[in-house]
Amino acid sequence: MFFLFCLYVLVKIQLHTGFIKEEIANDDKKVKGLIIGLKESLGLQRAISINPDIEYGIYKISFELLKNNRAFVYPLRVVCTSLSTKSMKCF
């Protein structure tokens, strides 16, 4: 299942960057893609290593909640289903 997800991500990022390169960016502009993940993925990093215009990064988000003058730290997990701002759904 993870392999299919990685394949989906690779196809989507190439479709989006290709569209932007052909339809939006000027000829002198360079278009790059960024895949943001929750953890290291050696397979995904190897797959994008052949395309220097796509990068892979890991993110971590946390926030601090103050309640009754005591600090509680909770991890915040944000998952987005698409890199397109028109169809992005986060939960």
Please write the tens of the pLDDT for every residue from 37-50: 888 888 888 888 88
- 2 or 34, higher pLDDT: 34
User: Could you tell me the residue range of the domain that residue 36 belongs to?
Assistant: 2-58
Q: Is residue 70 part of a domain?
A: no
Q: Where are the alpha helices (DSSP H) in 20-56?
A: 42-48
Q: How many DSSP H helices and E strands does the chain contain?
A: 2, 4
Q: Is residue 66 part of a domain?
A: no
- 66 or 84, higher pLDDT: 66
Number of domains, the chain: 1
Using CB atoms within 10 Å of the CB of residue 10, give its burial: 0 to 12 exposed, 13 to 18 middle, 19+ buried: middle
Q: Is residue 91 part of a domain?
A: no
Q: Is residue 20 part of a domain?
A: yes
Is the pLDDT at 19 greater than 80, yes or no? Answer: yes
